[in-house]
Amino acid sequence: MNKKLMAVAVAAAMAPGLALAQSSVTISGIFKVGVDNISLGQRASGTNHSETRVTDNSSRIIFNVTEDLGGGLQAIAQMDGRFAPDISTTFNASGNTWVGLRGKSWGTLTIGRHDLHYGKQPDDIASKAGALMGAAVSLMDYAGGGGVAIANATRTNNVVRYDTPQWGIFSGTVAFSTNATGVEGDLTALNTTRKGRAWTLNPVLTGSVWQLGYSYWNSKSDAAPLAVAPATTNDQRGDVLYGYYRWGGFKLGAAWNKSRLRSAVGNAVLSNRTAWTIPVSYTWGKHNVYAHYTKARSDRQITNTGASMFAMAYVYDLSKRTTLGVTLAKITNSSAGTYNFFTNANTGVFGSVNAAPLAGEDPRLLAVNIRHAF
């Protein structure tokens, strides 16, 4: 069935009498689930060394709504619903979910939840049926020896976002969040020290076979007086320079990331580290090979907290919508490093109990996934 017609049918079934004549509604999404084995080298005695499990890879259903308002102006909205086929968690709109306006000449303005700053490195290992845990995000978007996510390493809450049109080879994003880490602060004396906020800037140059981009991130949390409730989230500053070049079926990319953490009270530098990644891929016919080597340098404030990561995936296209893939990945932590595979710390959703590495432990992954897009 046509996606637009199916969307109307679903909406009519859910809300009889609902009129959709003025709007265009489309439904898309992916089912992506696999079987993986994850192990931890040097795991302390008495705990599990390895685990074989069925793992969701961020399956989703997306509803897009568009209404033409005339004069080149459109009202737009998106609900990005996430669910886990392996453990049947509650369906919720935890993905990129927003509402706004779009003009042909001036761009797009939206309000809601958005992926911002993180994941800018151009590795494709998590595309199609490659494992999400194999992404270079694992090292590139974490600081403090691997324990602190930059830009949440997921959607940012409470966002007002502006995207330019594609002006030749240039496009860009500017976004502001009134509180990137969660719900808004209150207006009582418990929140008089300062108000949380975050903003990002992301200009991009894109040619027919290449791209060059820069992403800036700056955030701080709501903070209460130390005597009442010490702030638990640190201030963040992030800079990422990234790009790629394609020729034929080959793609070669590179990215450099610098992330810094400061204490919410006192402004002391708690973490300052750089990381880089070199992703490559090659596609021919129905065959796809993705790989990357990524290095997080030891933190200037915390010694021996660096890590390196190598990951490779082979993906076979059964059709344009259905793919099968196998992924191998390993993180090698320094003696005080605790870097983990992306999403593996989300116990009960993407990860499992006791999956977080202790200092100096080396996570390893073997995953087989199937992905169907619709």
The pLDDT tens digits of the residues spanning 113-149 come to 999 999 999 999 999 999 999 999 999 999 988 989 9
Average pLDDT over residues 264-286: 91
The pLDDT confidence band at residue 264, using thresholds 50, 70 and 90, is confident
Global confidence as pTM: 0.88
pLDDT at 231 over 60: no
| Top-confidence residue, 3 or 118 | 118
Spatial distance between the Cα atoms of 34 and 179, rounded to a whole number of angstroms: 34
- Tell me the pLDDT band of 234, cut-offs 50, 70 and 90: confident
CA 304 from centroid of its chain's CA atoms: 26
Q: Can you give the pLDDT at residue 281?
A: 98
Instruction: Supply the pLDDT for residue 21.
Output: 46
Confidence at residue 41, expressed as pLDDT on a 0 to 100 scale = 80
Mean pLDDT of the chain: 88
Position 195 scores a pLDDT of 75
| Per-residue pLDDT at 10 exceeds 50 | no
**Mean pLDDT (whole number) for 107-116:** 97
Range of the domain at 130: 3-373
Residue 232 pLDDT > 70, yes or no?
no
What CATH number did the domain enclosing 252 receive? 2.40.160.10
pLDDT band at 228 (very low <50, low <70, confident <90, very high): very low
pLDDT of residue 18: 43
Give the pLDDT of residue 5: 45
Which of the two residues, 358 and 290, has the higher pLDDT score?
A: 290
Residue 15 has pLDDT above 80, yes or no: no
Domain count of the fold of the chain:
1
Q: Give the integer Cα–Cα distance in Å for 290 and 187.
A: 49
pLDDT, residue 48, reads 63
**E-assigned strands of the chain?**
24-41, 50-56, 60-70, 73-82, 98-103, 107-115, 142-143, 148-149, 155-163, 170-177, 197-206, 210-220, 235-247, 250-262, 269-284, 287-296, 307-317, 322-333, 362-373
pLDDT of residue 99: 98
**C-alpha dihedral sign at 58, 110, 178, 204:** positive
**Res 230 pLDDT > 50:** no
